[in-house]
Amino acid sequence: MTSLRVTAATVGVLMLVLVGIMATRDSGNERMTTYLVGEVAPEIKAQTLQGELWDLDDQRGRWVLVNFFSTTCVPCVREHPELVAFAEEHNRRDDVRIVTVSFSDTETAVKDFFQLHGGDWPVLASNTERVAVDWGVVAVPESYLVSPSGFVTAKVIGGVTQEYLEGLLAEAQT
C-alpha cells in the first residue's frame, strides 16, 4: 500500500509540474520550426461542406493558408474575423487561398459556424483526422503557409491576425 501511495504522489507532483509549465509558457503567434517547414506539404484531399472534392495539389501556383480549426476553440473563434479580412483582400488579388480543416468537431457545428460568421473558402469537416495527423497538428488553432510550389514555408501556433499573416506572406515571398 505504501508503494502505491508513493507512486500516486509522484504522478501527482509530475502532473502539477506539467500543468505549471503549460500555464506559464508564452502563447500566441509563434512561428515554429517544425519538420514540415521547408518540406513538401502533406496531401490534403477531402470533401468540402458543399460536397466538392478539394485537393491541395490543385492549388499549385498560388499561396495557400491551411488553417486547422474547431468551433469550440476560443482563439479559433477570435481569429476568424481576421481570416475573413485576409481572405477578402487576397480574393481581390487572386494570389492566396485559404482552406480550413476541422479538428475534432462535427460537420454540423462547423457548417453552422461558417454560416453565422462568414468565410467564403473551402472548409473540410468530415474525415479530416488523418489530415491533422499528417500535418502534425497537436492543438488548434494552427496554420501553415504553403508556397505556390507546394512547400510549407511557415507554421503558426495560436490565433492569427490579418496583419501578422500579411507580414508572414511578405517574408515568405522574399
Per residue in 71-102, pLDDT (tens digit) is 999 999 999 999 999 999 999 889 999 999 99
Q: Is residue 14 part of a domain?
A: no
Which of these ranges, 16-25, 95-104, 123-132, has the smallest mean pLDDT? 16-25
Q: How confident is the model at residue 15 (pLDDT cuts 50, 70, 90)?
A: low
153 domain residue, yes or no: yes
d(CA 29, CA 14): 28
Does residue 160 belong to any structural domain of this protein? yes
Report whether pLDDT(41) > 50.
Answer: yes
Number of domains in the chain: 1
Confidence of residue 6 (pLDDT cuts 50, 70, 90): low
Residue 24, pLDDT > 70, answer no
Q: Tell the residue number behind the cell numbers 503549460, with chain if given.
A: 22
Residue 159 lies in a domain: yes
Q: Is the pLDDT of residue 28 over 50?
A: no
Q: Does residue 100 sit within a domain?
A: yes
CATH number of the domain residue 143 falls in: 3.40.30.10
Residues 6+ apart with CB under 8 A from 20: none
pLDDT for residue 158: 93
Which pLDDT score, from 0 to 100, does residue 174 have? Answer: 84
Angle separating helix axes 74-93 and 107-117, nearest 10 degrees:
60
Instruction: Identify whether 8 is part of a domain.
Output: no
Share of the chain above pLDDT 70, in %: 80
Reply yes or no on whether the pLDDT at 14 is more than 60.
Answer: no
Structural domain boundaries, residue 94: 27-173
